[in-house]
Chain A
Amino acid sequence: MSFDYLALGAGGSGFNTLDIFATLFFFIVLMVLLKKFAWGPLMGIMNEREQLVASEIEAAENSRLESQKLLDEQRELLKQARTEALAIVENAKKQGDVSREEIMTTAREEATRLKESAVREIETEKARAIAAVREEVVSLSVLAASKVLEKEVTEEDNRALIEATIAKAGEAK
């Protein structure tokens, strides 16, 4: 086996100047073409994505702050509402106490008034009844006296007669 062909510049004769230009030409053409058609757009999209990610992060941060703010606000409102509710309940209780007191006072007064008027009526009725009884007694007495006068009777008869009359009057009453 011969290894001659392994020598530097195998098989070539002399220096290939045109290869230099060919290499440069192809490499530079490739670089320019790729810059225009491949790397340019690719870098563009990568930058775009970078910006998108950055803006998304920023937006997320913003919305987080926003929601935090809203949360605080809501919490504050809730607290306020609770305080208000407590005040309302307190107020209502107080109001209730006041009106209960009032109602009771009124009721008591009414009861007193009713009792008094009833008592007064009873008094009046009693007085009238007594008056009526007295009148009756008088008229009965007169009747009895007249009967006594009409009939000459003894002391015993008189008494018996009066008693009978009174008993009759009591029966009739």
Chain B
Amino acid sequence: MEHLSPEYHLFGLTGNTSTLMMLAITTLIVFLIAYFSTRNLKLKPTGMQNFMEWIMDFVKGIIKSNMDWKTGGSFHILGITLLLFIFVANVLGLPFAIIYNDYLWWKSPTADPTVTMTLAAMIIIMTNYYGIKAKGFKGYISDFAKPLPFLAPLKVIEEFANTLTLGLRLYGNIYAGEVLLALIAGLATSSMFGFVGAIIPALAWQGFSIFIGGIQSFIFVMLTMVYMAHKVSDDH
């Protein structure tokens, strides 16, 4: 049951082909969902438009609970895209894992630490960037000396800790979910008896994984906005 990762090489760098493919599929699915649910926009919303508007209001609520809408409004699109992208990515690995010639092809892209850490680092870098943009370089630096100047090293460490926790939390949850699913699937394929015994745990765990996928995407967006608010708002 050893799984290998398919690889590709470009400019002397290595990449995981499966991750690349799954990222592309996630992007495509999110885009298609969003694209087709926002055709025929009406003032009286129906069907998918309602759903999309609910998501927008949901993210708006997350942002509003962290900062005022005047500063937070510009992160609305980032928030919605993150939420949908991470949710779809989390759920994608649930129905099956495709292993071909010992290579694992189909999985959640968020079950790859490189992907989650990249997203986390992107978010933390963005918060710092917008922090400088909102307060100026001086204000941004002086924020590190708050609330007490000698805590500044801790504040620097905090930035890295935030990156790590943000990325690894997502990765850990999704990867663990996939591992457990793989174990259950292994049980199911071992024998007739094992198959019968695996039905209920598989159903339960898949349902729970959908829940986790939703919760984790929500947490990711929530923390993004919390960190953003720390950097951008004055009263924190």
Contact = CB atoms under 8 A, between A and B. Distances in A.
B16 interface: yes
Contacts of B13: 17-18
17 contacts: A10-B3, A10-B104, A11-B5, A15-B14, A19-B20, A21-B15, A22-B20, A23-B23, A23-B118, A26-B24, A29-B27, A35-B81, A38-B34, A42-B38, A42-B53, A45-B41, A46-B53
Contacts of B122: 24, 27
Interface stretch (A1-9, A92-100, A123-131): A1-9
A48 interface: yes
Majority secondary structure, A binding face: helix
Nearest to B23: A26
A94 to B, nearest CB: 66
Contacts, number: 132
Contacts of B81: 27, 30-31, 34-35, 39
B2 A38 contact: no
Interface of B: 1-5, 7-8, 10, 13-16, 19-20, 23-24, 26-27, 30-31, 34-35, 37-38, 41-43, 49, 52-53, 56, 76-78, 80-81, 85, 104, 109, 112-115, 118-119, 122, 179, 186
A23 B41 contact: no
B52 A49 contact: no
B43 A18 contact: no
Given A10-B5, A34-B81, A38-B52, A48 B43 contact: yes
Majority secondary structure, B binding face: helix
A45 to B, nearest CB: 4
Given A2-B2, A18-B13, A24 B43 contact: no
A20 B10 CA distance: 13
Contact of B104 (A8, A11, A20, A23): A11
Contacts of B76: 39, 43
